[in-house]
Amino acid sequence: MDLVLQIAFVLIFGVSAWVAGKKFASIRRNIFLGRAEALNDSPGLRWKNMTLFALGQKKMFRKPLPAILHLFIYVSFVIINIEVLEIVVDGLSGSHRFFAPYLGGFYTFMIGIIEFLALLALIATIIFLIRRNILKIKRFTQSELKGWPFKDANFILLMEIILVIAILTMNATDVQLQNLGAEHYPNTGKLIVSQFTSTLFSGVNMETLIIVERVAWWLHIIGILFFLNYIPYSKHLHIILAFPNSWYMRLNDNGIIENMPVIMNEVKTMVDPSAQVTVIADPPKTFGAKDVTDLSWKHLLDAYSCTECGRCTAACPANITGKKLSPRKIMMDTRDRLEEVGNNLSKHGKDFVDNKALYGDYITAEELRACTTCNACVEECPVNINPLSIILELRRYAVMELSDAPQEWNVMFNNMENNQAPWQFNPADRIKWAEEIK
């Protein structure tokens, strides 16, 4: 029977890893459907950013309470993987607590810490469920989260509760089996949590304890493997992508808007026909972005990295004042469109055209025009996503390719072209305002 279970574990583990690998490979392919963008400079600073923002969660602590609760879940997730590693080794080798005989007291310490963190994660997860479903925090109930995103968030939290309860149950019954001298259950010493929770199973016979322990063991590892395959379809993909996204963040100041060299050449020669211009070896075929493939790969990595936490939208002045713009929705729409493009590529090949686009079919002109380019969304994002950059690319396409701009903007554009200023007066009169303060 043990051999049958060992073979079953190998098959389940192998299939899960293969399916997850295929999905992660498709996500990587989708990201690189975007335009090239060089973001490899200053590696020292990039490692620092990744450590501070992804590992250290620096921006999360602008809201201390949820940051601490999230830290409990995050740290427990990282540390519990040590025990998951042992479970995988046990499953592949047919052993039980493979590392215990080799690590002795350190093993007891590590499992005890894991249990304590798991308990903190359980408490934090319950509080997060209350915040979403009972307190109904505003940023968790906005329109873009209705339907699947809301269910996804709750499902993940419930999954985390099941996984934590499974590992605590496994350890508690394991302690009782050690006390009863059951074969193949090595002494782990006094664990921080299980020395107390094991009393819930006092008086239970050995056969029942073994069944409960094995069920909890299988439930935990199958849950982990399910989670591995579910992550690519969930907002929790940020668990993985927050690290590369922080490493590849743009290092220029947030207030700087990237100009197009082709347009800069036009402006320079318009103002001064003798001005030196930069030779563009590979000029863009279009201005701005109509669809996800017109964006850069970093924009697309941003979209997949979105945590859907809504901090960007909560800080957006346009959204606060009732406009339709939600930076979180911009990222979610970009990701959804990219998934659609990727699925079309897999099913129909690279020449397939579905006559849809990110601009118009997913994101409207009204949303884009509401943006004040204040960078609040960029400043707030805990994983260094830049919704503004995508908004500007889409808006650039609308204005320069479709001539789709409000009349007020067109007046300003004409003034800039004719008067080199947003206002309608002769450039020669520009300094006259100073005469009034003499």
Q: What is the DSSP string of 300-331?
A: HHHHHH-----HHHHH-HHHHTT-S--HHHHH
In the numeric block, the tokens 């995050």 are attached to 74
pLDDT at 65: 87
pLDDT at 172: 93
Is the residue at 43 inside a domain?
A: no
Is the residue at 131 inside a domain?
A: yes
Q: What is the pLDDT of residues 287-325, one digit of tens each?
A: 899 999 999 999 999 999 999 999 999 999 999 999 999
Is the residue at 127 inside a domain?
A: yes
Co-location of 222 and 301 in the same domain: no
Co-location of 6 and 76 in the same domain: yes
Co-location of 230 and 292 in the same domain: no
Residue 296 pairs in a beta bridge with 35
- State how many domains the chain has: 2
Is the residue at 261 inside a domain?
A: no
Co-location of 292 and 401 in the same domain: yes
- What CA–CA distance (Å, rounded) separates 189 from 128? 33
Residue with the bigger pLDDT between 182 and 430: it is: 182
Is the residue at 276 inside a domain?
A: no
Co-location of 211 and 320 in the same domain: no
Q: How confident is the model at residue 84 (pLDDT cuts 50, 70, 90)?
A: confident
Mean pLDDT across the chain: 90
Co-location of 195 and 290 in the same domain: no
- What CA–CA distance (Å, rounded) separates 235 from 144? 13
Range of the structural domain that residue 409 is part of? 285-420
Is the residue at 108 inside a domain?
A: yes
Co-location of 347 and 407 in the same domain: yes
Co-location of 186 and 302 in the same domain: no
Co-location of 224 and 99 in the same domain: yes
Co-location of 132 and 8 in the same domain: yes
Q: Which residues does 69 contact at the CB level (< 8 Å), separation at least 6?
A: 124, 127, 128
CATH value at residue 356: 1.10.1060
Is the residue at 273 inside a domain?
A: no
Output phi, psi for 42, to 5 deg: 45, 60
Co-location of 335 and 194 in the same domain: no
Is the residue at 192 inside a domain?
A: yes
Q: What is the mean predicted confidence (pLDDT) over 157-171?
A: 93
What percentage of the chain exceeds 70 in pLDDT? Answer: 99
Question: Would you state the torsion angle of the CA atoms of residues 236, 241, 247, 250, taken in this order, to the nearest 10 degrees?
Answer: -80
Q: What is the pLDDT of residues 108-127, one digit of tens each?
A: 898 889 899 999 999 999 99
Lowest mean pLDDT among 29-38, 221-230, 246-255: 246-255
Co-location of 10 and 159 in the same domain: yes
